[in-house]
Amino acid sequence: MTILFTVLAAALAVAIPALATAWAQSRIGPAIAASMAEKPELSTTAVLMIAIPETMVILGFVVAVLILFSKAA
Amino acid sequence: MIIEMSKVRILGPRDRLADVLRSLQDIGVLHLAPPGALPRLAPLQLSSSQERERRHLRDGLENVQRALGELGLTAGQGPSAGGAAPSPADLVRWVRLGWRVRRAAERLKARGAALEEERALILKYQHFFSAFRSLLESEARWPNATAYHVLLKSGDTETIRRLRTSLTALIGDEFQLYAQPLPSGETALLVVVSAQAAGRVERLLAEARVQEIPVPETYGGKSLTEAIPRMLLRLGEIPGEMQAVQRERDALAKSHGAELRRARAGLHDRLRELEALPLSGVTPHAFVLEGWVPADGRGDLEARLTATFGEDVAVSEISKEEWKSEEAPVVLSNPRLLRPFETLIRLMPLPHYGTIDPTPFVAVFFPAFFGLMMGDVGYGVVLAALGLVLHARSKPGTLLRNVSEIIGPCALFSIIAGLLYGELFGDLGTRWLGLKPILFSREEALIPFLLLAVALGAVHIVLGLGLGVASNIRRHPRAALGRGVSAVMIVLIVLALLAAVDVLPKSFFTPVVIALLVAFPVLIVLEGVVAPIELLSTLGNILSYARIMALGVASVMLAVVANRMVGAIGSVTVGILFALLFHLVNFAIALFSPTIHALRLHYVEFFGKFYSPGGVRYEPFGHWTRDTATPAP
């Protein structure tokens, strides 16, 4: 049972930030695409804006790894 | 590094201003700026005739550029600097030439488009005629009938059914409806109705919004049978006419191309000269010009002006106390190996003059982070091959060449990291060649990999804070001290953590914590109440480097999954094909994601600690050489 909860916790640690990242990028993507149509020099900002929400899922992944490994130890 | 600039002041008699500007344009090193406030000095205003000339030349330049565009000659360069200045007669001739050639080129373009359109229309009729040839040929035998030719989109059978029902309801059985599919996928309909019912049927077709093809009047005749032979004859003539249009266009490009390019450069140069005039200050008898020149080029500028104008013109250096470093233009200058990485810096606004050029640091850390994320000997070799192909196919100084030269170190670091992780196309190296990891295996040692990533982050961020100290120490000493204390606190926090987990002796822990407690109020005094938030944000920045581990693990896992496809799918051949496809997808992801994230780690985390954006681009007043230098309206 504990293993089930551990795995579930690890899965949620990735899934919830992944949904949050997807939602954030779905808002940022069209906005930055529209901005770049007007000002192509914003391409660097576009890269940064798209990459910033990915931090959530990356940190979620790290937390998931830590959950799984702490259990294994 | 950002090269040192000198600000110079040029003084001379007012009647020599135009000559001096022309000479400066030939030398091409002075970045002009409006002169500072001096007694009795006023900025020069363009006279009404000069304003008129400027507008006229702008229109002329627009025509020349449009003409070159229409003739496909935009890529050419301007003549080399130092040529004779264009005479007023040349300018007038070029303006007229631009207008004349633009008009001719646009006329030819319109003619070509009309011929294309006519050909497409005739082809549509030709298909229709082929579908109902026998029926249309008997059209003449229907004295009291009217024929309608309709085109429906492919698969639109519902419209045919509805049309038939509507026609029956409207005129009973006084119509015939024939349908034939066309090679284009559309459906041709021929509707024959009695002459009395024609008006009602026309209204019905209009309401149903079907695409009726009327017999075009251009080809005469009231029926398609009469018009089609004329159309087919015309179809045979069109290719010849199109070739004639192309020949005429080529002849126009051949006869005027070189002169139009000269005109483009000459008009640009004269416009630049006119736009430089308001950047000079004048008194009733003298002029003053000011601007920046690279410090090691100042002597040459002075010598050349003295050689041309003798004692009429005086050049002097303005002392650094008289100008603000933020106003000086920025020129990045780095060794040949590091220069391609300036491309990554130019994606951001340039750094202020007098601050730090981060190119050397980016040149070391960007490929290192990229390599740690990709970390595969096989992918590294493929990437190196890709870089070599790009290098061979690009010209020096182009964006593509710079990208190919950035790919080189990235591929090298990927191969080195691949050897450290023992990876060649995932676990293929281990399984086939017995490749062993030198450092650790990314598949298994996730925690060591995470620690490595975060440790690298700590080093990178502390380096950024150190650069922040160096960059601000003269202009903002308080902020510089704040950055320094932050850096020290980060180091102390790391030491405390290492002591807590027994990596360092336990005896380190207490003195390090005491040092932290002392440093914290100092930081608040230096940076204010936001200091704790800043410190937390800096710690967050360090944790952000965990993405190196996350992306690295994702990359190796995908590669391993690709390799397992060979055994997982029944047929070995299909398995190998799937594995190759998966590796290709993984390589594409491994190319894109590490680039974006390594850039982000630099732009957000690293640059945030010291980078001061907003520098002015060095744009010396010189001859026009390429299209990006179009003066602003």
Q: Round to whole Å and give the CA distance between B622 and B611.
A: 30
User: What is the ipTM score, two decimals?
Assistant: 0.76
Highest mean pLDDT among A36-40, B167-171, B231-235, B453-457: B453-457
| B368-416 pLDDT per residue, tens | 999 999 999 999 999 999 999 999 999 888 889 999 999 999 999 999 9
Helix (H, G, I), strand (E, B) or coil at B43: strand
A65 with B450: Cβ contact below 8 A: yes
- pLDDT at residue number B410: 96
Higher-pLDDT residue of B557 and B83 is B557
Instruction: Give residue B246's pLDDT band: very low, low, confident or very high (50, 70, 90).
Output: very high
- pLDDT at residue number B81: 41
- pLDDT at residue number B631: 37
Of B446, B543, B596, the CB nearest to A47: B596
Three-class SS of B450-482 = HHHHHHHHHHHHHHHHHHHHHHHCCCCHHHHHH
Sketch out chain B's domains with CATH numbers: 5-96+250-329 (no CATH), 128-227 (3.30.70.2750), 339-609 (no CATH)
Q: What is this structure's pTM?
A: 0.74
- Nearest Cα of chain B lies from the Cα of A63 at a distance, in angstroms, of 10
Question: Do B8 and B316 touch, CB atoms closer than 8 A?
Answer: yes
- pLDDT at residue number B247: 93
Question: Do B263 and B86 touch, CB atoms closer than 8 A?
Answer: no
Instruction: Give residue B632's pLDDT band: very low, low, confident or very high (50, 70, 90).
Output: very low
Three-class SS of B90-121 = HHHHHHHHHHHHHHHHHHHHHHHHHHHHHHHH
A69 with B348: Cβ contact below 8 A: no
Strands, DSSP E only, in B108-246?
Answer: 145-152, 175-181, 187-194, 211-212
B136-145: list long-range contacts, CB under 8 Å, 24+ apart.
B136/B190, B136/B223, B136/B224, B136/B225, B136/B228, B137/B225, B139/B223, B139/B224, B139/B225, B140/B223, B140/B225, B142/B192, B144/B194, B144/B195, B145/B192, B145/B193, B145/B194, B145/B195
Instruction: Give residue A41's pLDDT band: very low, low, confident or very high (50, 70, 90).
Output: confident
Distances (CA, A) of B70 to A67, B101, B105, B629: 64, 9, 6, 20
Q: Give B-chain residues touching A55 at CB under 8 angstroms.
A: 544, 547
Rounded to an integer, the average pLDDT of B260-280 is: 89
Of B546, B553, B599, the CB nearest to A47: B599
A65 with B347: Cβ contact below 8 A: no
A51 with B446: Cβ contact below 8 A: no
Question: Do B126 and B228 touch, CB atoms closer than 8 A?
Answer: yes
| B297-306 pLDDT per residue, tens | 888 998 999 9
B596 with A51: Cβ contact below 8 A: yes
- Nearest Cα of chain B lies from the Cα of A51 at a distance, in angstroms, of 7
User: In chain A, which residues touch B (CB < 8 A)?
Assistant: 43-44, 47-48, 50-52, 54-55, 58-59, 61-62, 65-66, 69
- The CATH number of the domain holding residue A45 is 1.20.20.10
| % of chain B with per-residue pLDDT over 70 | 93
Q: Round to whole Å and give the CA distance between B610 and B333.
A: 19
| B188-200 pLDDT per residue, tens | 888 888 877 888 8
Burial class (CB in 10 A: 0-12, 13-18, 19+), B541: buried
- pLDDT at residue number B37: 73
Which residues span the domain enclosing A17?
2-72
Rounded to an integer, the average pLDDT of B214-237 is: 73
Report the Cα B583 to chain-centroid distance in Å. 29
Distances (CA, A) of B152 to B48, B155, B179, B374, B549: 62, 8, 10, 54, 58
| B66-110 pLDDT per residue, tens | 999 888 877 655 554 445 677 888 889 999 999 999 999 999 999
Highest mean pLDDT among A19-28, A56-65, B615-624: A19-28
A43 with B347: Cβ contact below 8 A: yes
B446, closest residue in chain A (CA to CA): A65
User: What region does A57 belong to: left with phi over 0, alpha with psi -120 to 50, or beta?
Assistant: alpha
Higher-pLDDT residue of B159 and B263 is B263
Rounded to an integer, the average pLDDT of B254-262 is: 89
Q: Which of B547, B558, B611 to substitute to test the interface with A, most A CBs within 10 Å?
A: B547
With a cut of 60, say whether residue B24 has pLDDT above it: yes
Rounded to an integer, the average pLDDT of B7-21 is: 90
Question: Do A60 and A18 touch, CB atoms closer than 8 A?
Answer: yes
B600 with A52: Cβ contact below 8 A: yes
- Nearest Cα of chain B lies from the Cα of A49 at a distance, in angstroms, of 9
Structure tokens at B413: 């670091």
Of A44, A51, A62, the CB nearest to B450: A62
A52 with B604: Cβ contact below 8 A: yes
- Phi, psi at B324, each rounded to 5°: -90, 140
| B294-345 pLDDT per residue, tens | 998 888 998 999 998 888 889 888 888 888 878 889 999 899 999 999 999 9
B446 with A50: Cβ contact below 8 A: no
- pLDDT at residue number B97: 92
User: In chain B, which residues touch A (CB < 8 A)?
Assistant: 347-348, 446-447, 450, 543-544, 546-547, 549-551, 553, 596-597, 599-600, 603-604
- Nearest Cα of chain B lies from the Cα of A22 at a distance, in angstroms, of 16
* Residue in B222, B140, B152, B146 with CA at minimum distance from that of residue B187: B152
- pLDDT at residue number B628: 45
Higher-pLDDT residue of B512 and B133 is B512
| B466-486 pLDDT per residue, tens | 998 888 887 788 888 888 888
Higher-pLDDT residue of B354 and B405 is B405
- pLDDT at residue number B388: 96
Query: Hey, what amino acid is at B83?
Result: G
- pLDDT at residue number B82: 47
Instruction: Give residue B630's pLDDT band: very low, low, confident or very high (50, 70, 90).
Output: very low
Structure tokens at B489: 């606190």
Of A52, A61, A69, the CB nearest to B550: A61
Q: Round to whole Å and give the CA distance between B113 and B106.
A: 10
What DSSP designation does B351 have? B
Mean pLDDT of the residues in chain B: 85
Strand partners, B13: B286
Report the sign of the C-alpha dihedral through residues B427, B430, B433, B436, in that order: positive
Alpha helices in B569-608 (DSSP H): 572-600
Rounded to an integer, the average pLDDT of B235-258 is: 91
Q: Round to whole Å and give the CA distance between B126 and B377.
A: 60
What DSSP designation does B193 have? E
Helix (H, G, I), strand (E, B) or coil at B46: coil
Rounded to an integer, the average pLDDT of B424-448 is: 88
| B571-591 pLDDT per residue, tens | 778 888 888 888 998 898 888
Number of compact structural domains in chain A = 1
Rounded to an integer, the average pLDDT of B266-290 is: 89
Distances (CA, A) of B62 to B46, B72, B303: 21, 15, 37
Torsion of CA B84, B90, B95, B101, to 10 degrees: -100
